[in-house]
Structure 1
C-alpha cells in the first residue's frame, strides 16, 4: 500500500512549530497529491494523518503528513489503519522491514510512474 509523505522544507519536531504559511503549504500540496493519486490509483478515499510527537506514534523527529489512498474493504475495521501508523513494526500496510524488498526494476518503474503522474512539481501553486 502506498504511503506518500508531505514534508515541509523546514524540519520541525512538532506541528505547532510550523508557521501558518508552512501549514497552508503542507495541506495545499497534500490536496494536490490526493487529486493526482485519486485518478491514478482509483482511490475511493484517503487517510491523512500527522503523528505529532512520539506519544502519538511519531517515529522520526520531524512533522510530516501521511497520505494513504484507501479502497473499500482494505481494512476489516476502518480505523485499524491507525494501528499500522502507530505500530513500530506495522503489520502490512506501511513500508517496513518485514515487507519483501522491491527490485531495482520495480523501483525504477514506480519512479517513472510518479514522474508521469506529478511531472514538474511547482510548490508555488
Structure 2
C-alpha cells in the first residue's frame, strides 16, 4: 500500500483535530474541527492509499468514494438540513491543491450564507482571472 509518513490524509490520527467520521475498504470521510467554524459540516473523502492525483484512483476507490459521498449526504441531511452542496477536487498547484493527497471536498451550503449562490466556478469566472496569452 502506498503511504506517505508526512501526509495528514495517510495518517488521519496524527492531527487530533481531524476525525474519521466514516470509512470503508479503500476510503475515509474526514472532518477537521478547525474547518467547522466557517464551513460547518464540511469534510473530505480521501483514498487510504496515497494518491497525489485524483485521475489515478482505482475503480474500487471511485466506487468507495461514491458510497461515502452518499453516507456523508445522509449524515449532513440529518444533522444540518443544508439547502445545497458544493463538491470539488483540486488537482495540482494551479488549482490550489495544498495537500498532495487526492481529496474530494464535501461542503454543505445554506441559503442564509453571505456567499450563497456562489459555487466553485464563481471565482474562476471573474474577469481578473482571464489569462494573458500571446497570439
Larger Rg: 2
Q: 1:21 to 1:80 in 2, by over 3 A?
A: closer
Q: Is the 2:86–2:119 contact (alpha carbons within 8 Å) kept by the matching residues of 1?
A: no
Shift of 1:64: 0.5
Q: CA RMSD in A?
A: 2.0
Gap regions ≥5 residues in structure 2: 1-38, 124-135
4+ aligned runs moved over 6 Å, structure 1:
none
Matches within 5 A, 1:75-86: 75=115, 77-79=117-119, 83=123
From 88, 110, 123, the equivalent of 1:71 is: 110
Pair 1:21-2:60 in alignment = yes
Q: How does the TM-score come out when normalised to structure 2?
A: 0.55
Pair 1:32-2:76 in alignment = no
Gap regions ≥5 residues in structure 1: 84-125
Number of residue pairs matched by the alignment: 83
Structure with greater proportional helix content: 1
Structure with greater proportional strand content: 2
Answer 1 or 2: higher relative contact order, Cα 8 Å, separation at least 6: 1
Q: 1:76 to 1:31 in 2, by over 3 A?
A: closer
